[in-house]
Structure 1
Amino acid sequence: MGQKEKLVLVGVVKRKKDLEMARKEHWYRIPLKHAPKRKAKYLALYQTRAFAKEGKAINYYASIKGSSLHKRKELLPDEENHPRSEDYYYKFNLGSLRATPYRIENRYGRRIGFAFTTFKELLGSKEISELFNIVPIEEIIRQALKNCQIRAIGGYSIMENKRLRYRLDFAIFCQKGKINIECDDLRWHSQPKQRQKDKKRDRWLKKRGWTIFRFSTEEIKNNTAKCIKILKQAIQNLGGI
């Protein structure tokens, strides 16, 4: 396997403390239950929105030197009262953190978990969709809505008790109701656990007056016009925008 084809594991960093441990102490942890099945040569770090301007993107990566299994409390003795302190984690020993050639942004709010890509994609990508060779279905819908002069808000946030409850791919506000459009990559949304989350989310939204349309990658790629026709009819039924 050539250098550019070598596997890269993408991990998530939610706390500044964990990024500093990767930077200064050269290690990263993954829960045993989420441990990757394949062996990667590199680790890329996806920083969540907790990192403000540097967040919602991959900015750094490092080589993986080896791994070992430990209880969480052994890795983080100052957090021994954590509810998962007895759980086992893989500790990945890392080389020095390096900056990616480009900031790899999550422009469409994709859910990021542990996943694999290649070193070539890591070095050449500027957006998460490119990194994982995902068709940018949100952009297809965005452009189709724009072409039809349908006013839609992308990445619309729904708050509850001052905290983010859900982020919608698109929201359309009509005279007599509101529409949520979701662009579903079936590689993710067909998984049983995610299907249950989607059902729970949809029930919550429907109780609060939302009409929900979920379009799959295939529907959006192969029949965008039909998706837009369905949305136009729904907008008309709700009294227009």
Structure 2
Amino acid sequence: MTTAHDIINLQNLAFRRGDKTILQDINWTIQSAQHWGLLGLNGSGKSTLLNILNGTHFPSSGQVTVLGQAFGKTSIPDLQKRIGLVSSWLNQQLPTHLSVENTIISGKFASIGIYQHINDTDRAQAAQLLADFNMSRLSGRNLASLSQGERQTVLILRALMTDPELLILDEPTGGLDLFARERLLDNLALLAERKPEVSQLMVTHQTEEIPAFYQKVLLLKEGNIFAQGDRDEILTPERLHAFYDKPVILRPFKDGRIQVVPE
């Protein structure tokens, strides 16, 4: 049996820009094979925290350790290759003329596009990822021909090219219609089944987007951790009422997800 270990460890983290404090007193640990939902409203500091985890920003104070690497003592570019990232920014930056296969392979190099030599092993791995997630029908097409939901799934496959221990999903269902969202969430469940060793971290502002198999939830409010822990203890009417400062009603979905609506 594999011993659990820390994937992310944040101690007394703070981030300031000028006179404004965006994050403060962030203490948070994600262990291997845990799946977390990070829930917060706009302006809560979600994007800043995500940028710190991915090595794009450095904290103003505190300690950050990701995949066993302490910031300030490790190569951030090397670390970034070990993290799978799916974000709207990345979706917007990728050239639409890229083939699906080359888009997936670009994840190996953490590059926007392909500038390195591609070998047969790379091509075979991309084809296998498409097959594993029942997406072989996209083979040979380019990004411009895909629906938004298909593009998001291809970005997830791209993130898996390096066999990451951590997959960060930054509002992955943004811009998707209802049915595309459900297909994407089904693929995340399939990923958890086939690669249980990969920790998933989803950043969102909608509770119903947090898959039922995510064991943990962190609530971020105004740059502070409002609450964190087991989903059944966090996603309660009382806790979410206090979080939103408004009374709410929880509507459970058949698959175990929860929708929150105003009372």
TM-score computed with the length of structure 2 as normaliser: 0.27
Answer 1 or 2: which has greater strand percent.
1
Q: Which has the higher contact order (CA 8 A, sep 6+)?
A: 2
User: Normalising by the residue count of structure 1, what TM-score does the alignment of the two structures yield?
Assistant: 0.28
Higher Cα Rg, which structure: 1
